[in-house]
């Protein structure tokens, strides 16, 4: 599932290629991917120019401008489990395009393809007010300067959720999923089952540092590819080789002699080292 580093990589790829291009034609091949009725969707995008490409949490946000230069709303793309935004140059076909969902023809002859094998992704159109309200309902961006150690500690102190589940809650912090929650907790040496409001001030500081370090490293590696995730140019991210606990149950910890374990919290898998991240019940 694409998380912050994968979506950030896609956004950077789009900024370098489709910014200031205009949508010429929109071909909806899989209507179930749209959160907006097809006719409204097509009308809202036709002849709109892409004046911005940004990320909010795990979503790609295209800011649009009308041909007369006025604001034209936003297109929000949530990639779901296996969504891709692939750029295909004029006259080319993409060998990766086995499950095209929506084709956006751009005025320079290139195509932006929304591709989704499992079809849990969603594309929606919003006006700026709707978008601002939605964006404000989400937690802070962990790589922004506003996300301080004090802010994290304050957020944790107000919840008795397990810290792994807390990290996955997009209303508390944006962009984190199973992979980076497990990796950040390992680096911070905090057990995933610990209650958020039971982290010590030092643990909260370590977690803040770990979240930022893990996410920034993963962005530099172009994200983590296990199966479906690809960049806009169809390439794989290389962060999988840097993972210390995620999907490594039964293997040796890279820091001690322990064996990585997996537990299920709120229906989601958390990976951790029982030696490096002692259970809160056993902690002194
Ligand atoms: Zn260990």
pLDDT in tens, 104-138: 999 999 999 999 999 999 999 999 999 999 999 99
Taking the centre of ligand 1 as the mean of its atom positions, its distance from the CA of residue 144, in whole angstroms, is: 30
Q: Which of 3, 6, 8, 141 is catalytic?
A: 3
pLDDT tens digits, one per residue of 211-270: 999 999 999 999 999 888 999 999 999 999 999 999 999 999 999 989 999 999 999 999
pLDDT digits (tens, 9 = 90+) for 170-214: 999 999 999 999 999 999 999 999 999 999 999 999 999 999 999
Does the active-site annotation cover 66?
A: no
Q: Annotated catalytic residue: which of 55, 56, 58, 187? A: 58
DSSP state of 96: T
Q: pLDDT at position 282, please?
A: 61
> Which is catalytic among the residues 268, 274, 275, 278?
268
3 is catalytic: yes
Distance (Å) from CA 187 to ligand 1 centroid: 10
pLDDT tier at 1, thresholds 50, 70, 90: confident
Q: SS3 of 23, please?
A: strand
| CA separation, residue 191 to residues 129, 140, 147, 157, 261 (Å) | 40, 23, 22, 16, 11
The rounded Å distance from CA 173 to ligand 1 centre is: 26
pTM over 0.85: yes
Distance 253 CA to ligand 1 centre (A): 5
Closest listed residue to residue 161, CA positions, set 136, 132, 139: 139
């Amino acid at each position: 599932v694409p998380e912050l580093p994968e979506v950030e990589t896609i956004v950077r790829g789009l900024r370098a290629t489709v910014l200031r291009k205009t949508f010429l034609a929109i071909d909806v091949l899989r209507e179930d991917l749209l959160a907006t009725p097809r006719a409204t969707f097509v009308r809202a995008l036709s002849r709109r120019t892409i004046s911005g490409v940004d990320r909010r949490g795990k979503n790609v946000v295209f800011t649009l401008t009308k041909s007369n230069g006025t604001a034209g709303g936003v297109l929000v793309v949530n990639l779901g489990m296996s969504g891709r935004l692939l750029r295909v140059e004029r006259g080319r076909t993409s060998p990766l395009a086995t499950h095209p969902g929506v084709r956006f023809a751009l005025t320079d002859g290139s195509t932006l393809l929304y591709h989704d094998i499992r079809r849990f992704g969603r594309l929606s159109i919003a006006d700026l007010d709707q978008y601002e309200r939605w964006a404000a309902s989400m937690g802070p961006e962990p790589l922004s300067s506003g996300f301080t150690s004090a802010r994290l500690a304050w957020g944790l102190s107000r919840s008795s959720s397990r810290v792994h589940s807390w990290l996955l809650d997009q209303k508390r912090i944006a962009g984190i999923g199973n992979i980076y929650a497990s990796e950040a907790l390992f680096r911070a040496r905090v057990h995933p089952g610990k209650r958020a409001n039971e982290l010590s001030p030092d643990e909260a500081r370590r977690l803040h540092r770990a979240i930022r370090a893990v996410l920034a490293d993963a962005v530099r590696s172009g994200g983590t590819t296990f199966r479906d995730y690809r960049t806009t140019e169809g390439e794989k991210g290389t962060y999988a080789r840097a993972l210390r606990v995620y999907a490594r149950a039964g293997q040796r910890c890279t820091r001690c002699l322990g064996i990585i374990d997996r537990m299920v919290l709120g229906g989601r898998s958390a990976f951790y080292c029982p030696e490096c991240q002692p259970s809160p019940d056993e902690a002194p």
